[in-house]
């Protein structure tokens, strides 16, 4: 139709394109995925196979160091630590995923409501969010445990509610930004109803932000689960947990330091993994970035 005119992207705007382009190959995405895959693989394999049954004890080899029969050594009761680590990974992944699901089921609608509704509702929701953020997840867990007793469900609820505030906050902020765009106004003038505006315009423009948030929330949940179990407020025994492994190994740290190191390392790998994955996803999913990549030719 017309002469091709470079009339939208000013040259100055593309300044940081090369840096971003490098990021798009995203080593953090790859490293993060690999680390997380290790944890998930441990959890999945534990469903069908572990070196020993969970309740197997080897009284002859208490507090043994890593060896051929016990890859990660044994604890003071002679339980195989690798078995515990694998089952702990299952607990961590399960509680992590469930709490993130709870957090999103509560947080996303709340955030959308705040962004879409008038100022009164928005302020009310912001108030609630602030209170929940200020309220320590641990304290919430203790309250719930006092009332309902320690259980996996209580841990998931406590972590999920705690994380949901952050999810709601981010959802509200991202959705509010979309609501100020002219395409939402244009949709209203096209007769598009509020629900369809959410489905067609708001969610497609914020899901990538929420996905990144979900990975980070998973990391927070894994740490929270470990902390709760460490304090005896999380998954009750006999279900193994990295947090309780740490707690149980604490008294014997001088003679069997690996019993503390390995579960600690597992938590660290899981959390670093999801954080790297989140960073990588952010780089890859950024719509601005994709536009620029195409605009500058690959």
Partner 1 sequence: MSEPMPAEGREPILSGHQLTRQFAGRSHRALDGVDVAVRPGVSLGIVGESGAGKSTLLRLLLGVDRPTSGEVRFAGQPLDRARSREFRRQVQVVFQDPRSSLNPRMSVASIVAEPLRSLRIGGDRAARSARVAEVLTAVGLRPEDGRRYPHEFSGGQRQRIAIARALAPAPRVLLADEPVSALDVSVRLQIIDLLRDLVDRLGLTLVLVSHDLAIVSQLCPEVLVMRHGRVVERGATADVLTRPVDGYTRALLAAIPQLPTDLVEEQ
Partner 2 sequence: MTVLETTGLSIALDREPLVRDVSFALDTRDRVGLIGESGSGKSLTALALLGLLPAGMRASGRIVIDGRDYLGAPDRQWRRVRGRTVSIVFQEPLTALDPLMPVGRQIAGPLRLHQGLNRSDAERRAIEWCERVHLPDPARLVRALPHEISGGQRQRVALAMALACRPRVLIADEPTTALDVTVQAQILALLDELIEETGVALLFISHDLPVVAGLARHLLVMRDGRLVESGPVDDVLRRPRSDYARQLVTSAARVTRLARPAGGGEDR
Number of residues near partner 1 (by CB under 8 A): 30
Residue span binding partner 1 (CB under 8 A) among the ranges 65-73, 190-198, 261-269, 278-286: 190-198
Is 217:166 a contact under the CB 8 Å cutoff? yes
In whole angstroms, the minimum distance from the beta carbon of 8 to partner 1 comes to: 4
In whole angstroms, the minimum distance from the beta carbon of 125 to partner 1 comes to: 20
The Cα–Cα gap between 125 and 262 comes to 42
- The torsion angles phi and psi of 57, rounded to 5 degrees, stand at -120, 150
In whole angstroms, the minimum distance from the beta carbon of 202 to partner 1 comes to: 10
Is residue 255 part of the contact set for partner 1 (CB under 8 A)?
no
Which residues of the chain form contacts with partner 2 (CB under 8 A)? 5-12, 14-19, 296
Is residue 190 part of the contact set for partner 1 (CB under 8 A)?
yes
Contacts of 118 (CB under 8 A, 6+ apart): none
In whole angstroms, the minimum distance from the beta carbon of 261 to partner 1 comes to: 46
Estimate to the nearest angstrom the gap between the alpha carbon of 214 and the chain centroid: 5
Q: From the list partner 1, partner 2, none, pick the one residue 57 interacts with, judged by a Cβ distance below 5 to 8 Å according to partner type.
A: none
Farthest CA pair distance, the chain: 85
Tokens of 103: 């957090």
Which residue number, 12 or 68, has a Cβ lying nearer to partner 2? 12
In whole angstroms, the minimum distance from the beta carbon of 126 to partner 1 comes to: 18
- Among all chains, which residue has been given the structure tokens 């960073």? 279
In whole angstroms, the minimum distance from the beta carbon of 168 to partner 1 comes to: 22
- Residue selected from 188, 237, 257, 268 as contacting partner 1 according to rule CB under 8 A: 188
Sign for the pseudo-dihedral over CA of 44, 45, 48, 49 = negative
What is the DSSP secondary structure assignment for residue 74, as one 8-state letter? B
Per-residue contact string for residues 193-212; x = within reach of partner 1 by CB under 8 A: x--x---xx--xx-------
Which residue number, 12 or 147, has a Cβ lying nearer to partner 2? 12
Is residue 127 part of the contact set for partner 1 (CB under 8 A)?
no
Residue span binding partner 1 (CB under 8 A) among the ranges 48-56, 59-67, 72-80, 179-187: 179-187
- Residue selected from 49, 55, 182, 298 as contacting partner 1 according to rule CB under 8 A: 182
In whole angstroms, the minimum distance from the beta carbon of 259 to partner 1 comes to: 50
Sign for the pseudo-dihedral over CA of 85, 90, 95, 96 = positive
Is 238:182 a contact under the CB 8 Å cutoff? no
Task: Using alpha carbons, select from 28, 9, 8 the residue that is nearest to residue 17.
Answer: 9
Tokens of 240: 């193994």
Contacts of 136 (CB under 8 A, 6+ apart): 162
State the helix-helix crossing angle for 287-295 and 258-285, rounded to 10 degrees.
50
Task: Using alpha carbons, select from 14, 16, 29 the residue that is nearest to residue 285.
Answer: 29
Which residue number, 76 or 208, has a Cβ lying nearer to partner 1? 208
Is residue 181 part of the contact set for partner 1 (CB under 8 A)?
yes
Q: From the list partner 2, partner 1, none, pick the one residue 48 interacts with, judged by a Cβ distance below 5 to 8 Å according to partner type.
A: none
Q: Site residues (CB under 8 A) for partner 1?
A: 1-8, 181-183, 185-193, 196, 200-201, 204-205, 287, 290-291, 294-295
């Amino acid at each position: 139709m017309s002469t091709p005119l470079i009339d939208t992207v000013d040259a100055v705007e593309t300044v940081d394109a090369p840096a971003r382009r490098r990021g798009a190959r995203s080593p953090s995405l790859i490293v993060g995925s690999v680390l997380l895959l290790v944890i998930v693989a441990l959890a999945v394999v534990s469903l069908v196979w572990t070196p020993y049954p969970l309740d197997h004890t080897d009284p002859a080899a208490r507090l043994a160091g890593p060896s051929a029969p016990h890859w990660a050594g044994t604890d003071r009761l002679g339980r195989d630590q690798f078995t515990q680590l694998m089952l702990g990974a299952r607990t961590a992944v399960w509680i992590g995923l469930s709490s993130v699901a709870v957090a999103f089921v509560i947080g996303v609608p709340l955030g959308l409501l705040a962004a879409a509704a008038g100022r009164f509702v928005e302020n009310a929701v912001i108030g609630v969010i602030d209170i929940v953020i200020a309220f320590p997840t641990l304290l919430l867990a203790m309250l719930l445990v006092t009332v309902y007793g320690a259980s996996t469900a209580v841990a998931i609820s406590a972590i999920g509610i705690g994380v949901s505030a952050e999810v709601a906050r981010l959802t509200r902020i991202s959705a509010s930004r979309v609501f100020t765009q002219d395409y939402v106004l244009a949709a209203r003038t096209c007769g598009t109803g509020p629900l369809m505006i959410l489905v067609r315009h708001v969610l497609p423009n914020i899901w990538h932000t929420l996905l990144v948030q979900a990975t980070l929330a998973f990391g927070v949940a894994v740490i929270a689960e470990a902390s709760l179990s460490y304090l005896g407020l999380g998954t009750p025994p006999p279900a193994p947990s990295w947090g309780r492994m740490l707690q149980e190994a604490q008294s014997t740290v001088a003679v069997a330091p690996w019993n503390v190191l390995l579960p600690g390392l597992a938590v660290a790998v899981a959390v670093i993994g999801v954080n790297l994955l989140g960073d990588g996803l952010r780089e890859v999913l950024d719509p601005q970035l994709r536009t620029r990549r195409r605009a500058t030719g690959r």
